Amino acid sequence: MSGRGTETMSKIDLAIRGGTVVTASDTFRADVGIADGRICLIADEVKGAAREIDARGLLVMPGGIDSHVHIAQPSGPGIVMADDFASATAAAAAGGNTLVMPFALQQRGQSLRGAVEAYRTKAEGECHVDASFHLIVSDPTPAVLGQELPALVKDGYTSFKVFMTYDDLVLDDRQLLEVFDLARRERALVMVHCEGYDAIRFMTERLERSGRTEPYGHALSRPEIVEREAAHRAISHAELVDLPMMIVHVSGREAMEQIRWAQRRGLKVLAETCPQYITLTADDLKGLDMEGAKYVCSPPPRDAESQKAIWEGIVQGVFQTFSSDHCPFRYEAADGKLNPKARSSFRWVPNGIPGVETRLPVLFSEGVSKGRISLQRFVELSATNHAKIYGLYPRKGSIGIGFDADIALWDPNRKETIRQEILHHGADYTPWEGFEVTGWPVMTLVRGEVVMEEGRIVGAKGHGGILQREVGSYAN
């Protein structure tokens, strides 16, 4: 039910009163009524609820959906990710998110179903916000392509990631085509990590021979051309088998222009970018001693011109989603960035940075507060499009009757300085230390339960569930 005037219903568990509701299409003053974890009423006034939250002066927005995070993922010998499900989802809640989408990773030789079951076991009972898994396919055997993947897609794992680099994950062109073809048949969405394996190996070995082994070498080993070439190859393969595809973590102009070119030709190429590509640059990898390791992620951050190109892509609609690519490793740790081999070459520095907690404040501040994007575009990029693309809509991703009451209350004027000491993730640093933002999430509700209030995680872990998904709207 929605309406103007004062509404009362027989049983409303909670009313969010006096706030300004923001969706991907509108901004309007309204109260929001919640019953049984879902939005049941949107009206000028909602009275008679069992409980009320005063949202005067606040924006009432769909909780963030971060469709690209890595949590407790196997990361190579001796390397351990800094977050388990409890800490990652606490950090997500603190950052205004209500759902995260991490990856169940198939290691070579492993059954995909086995990887999914083991990952579920790690997550169950641990989450503060909802979670839903993508798959990573590293070993597309006939059994995986013929039986496991089709069955998993039917079971609600409707998206999977493939890599064009990394020794343990890379698929060659033939394998990519086989996976793409299967995805088209099953109507699953493939997420592609576009960086060319052979070019990176060539560059890495050349840099190492010339003594460029410090963290900055990571950026030199993976210049934009490496991403551009892989993006073009992935687009070509997808076109060959008529597959809609998502290119993840796009870092700069070269890959963005490939995607824009494909989209203008009518191809269903979707794209994601991340906070690191609008705020960091390769120069951050030049930190004194090994400090640059804190910024080693793939693709690497580029330069100010690239940041401008990413904004161009955001504003023009080349990008549909803005995700964190949260992939946390501790810095001061023998199982993290400073592992015993890391000083010998950048190639041993684990790739990834923490970001699930800071994604939305960075986008809100750099985007909305600085006048680059509207509130509507913010909601699309941070929640609604993720739900639509990955098969969670109309259950998640908006504020409307019948949607899960996944809501973040934002103070659009609040100024904060991002500091490690206020964050909840398992990493021991943030790449955004000292970064000033305007706009901050002050409360997060997952299915009508408050899970974060003023930076405090409230309520027990285990409220977050593990969700299966439908085929996404863009995969049709």
If the CB atoms of residues 218 and 469 are measured against ligand DUC, the closer one turns out to be 218
Could you tell me if 69 and 88 are in contact, meaning their C-beta atoms sit under 8 angstroms apart?
A: yes
Question: Chain centroid to CA 345: how far?
Answer: 28
Residue range at the interface with Zn ion (CB under 5 A); choices 94-102, 137-145, 301-309, 321-329: 321-329
Q: Which of 327, 368, 387, 445 binds ligand DUC (CB under 6 A)?
A: 327
Structure tokens given for 21: 């509701």
If the CB atoms of residues 70 and 228 are measured against ligand DUC, the closer one turns out to be 70
Select from Zn ion, ligand DUC, none the partner in contact with residue 351, using the beta carbon and a kind-dependent cut-off of 5 to 8 Å.
Answer: ligand DUC
In angstroms and rounded to an integer, the radius of gyration of the C-alpha atoms of the chain is: 22
Check binding of 193 to Zn ion (CB under 5 A).
yes
Nearest residue to 92 via CA among 463, 469, 473: 463
**Residue 302 vs residues 192, 310, 437, 461: alpha-carbon distances, Å:** 20, 11, 21, 38
If the CB atoms of residues 325 and 406 are measured against ligand DUC, the closer one turns out to be 325
Check binding of 193 to ligand DUC (CB under 6 A).
yes
DSSP string, 122-161: HHTTT-SSEE--EEE-S---HHIIIIIHHHHHHTT--EEE
Structure tokens given for 213: 């082994």
455: left (phi over 0), alpha (psi -120 to 50) or beta: left
Q: Which of 249, 294, 377, 447 binds ligand DUC (CB under 6 A)?
A: 249
If the CB atoms of residues 219 and 327 are measured against ligand DUC, the closer one turns out to be 327
Select from ligand DUC, Zn ion, none the partner in contact with residue 58, using the beta carbon and a kind-dependent cut-off of 5 to 8 Å.
Answer: none
Structure tokens given for 188: 């699953």
If the CB atoms of residues 229 and 404 are measured against ligand DUC, the closer one turns out to be 229
Size of the site for ligand DUC (CB under 6 A): 8
Q: Which of 279, 351, 358, 384 binds ligand DUC (CB under 6 A)?
A: 351
How crowded is residue 172: how many other Cβ atoms within 10 Å of its Cβ? 10
If the CB atoms of residues 218 and 237 are measured against ligand DUC, the closer one turns out to be 218
If the CB atoms of residues 193 and 337 are measured against Zn ion, the closer one turns out to be 193
Structure tokens given for 281: 């640059």
Question: Chain centroid to CA 3: how far?
Answer: 34
Cα distance between residue 50 and residue 155, in whole Å: 37
Check binding of 325 to Zn ion (CB under 5 A).
yes
Q: Which of 75, 89, 97, 298 binds ligand DUC (CB under 6 A)?
A: 298
Cβ at position 249, least distance to ligand DUC in Å? 5
Could you tell me if 56 and 416 are in contact, meaning their C-beta atoms sit under 8 angstroms apart?
A: no
Check binding of 352 to ligand DUC (CB under 6 A).
yes
**Binding pattern to ligand DUC, positions 56-75, x when CB under 6 A?**
--------------x-----
Tell me the HSE value of 228 on the side-chain side, using a 13 A CA sphere: 12
Q: Contact positions toward Zn ion, by CB under 5 A? A: 193, 325
Q: Contact positions toward ligand DUC, by CB under 6 A? A: 70, 193, 249, 298, 325, 327, 351-352
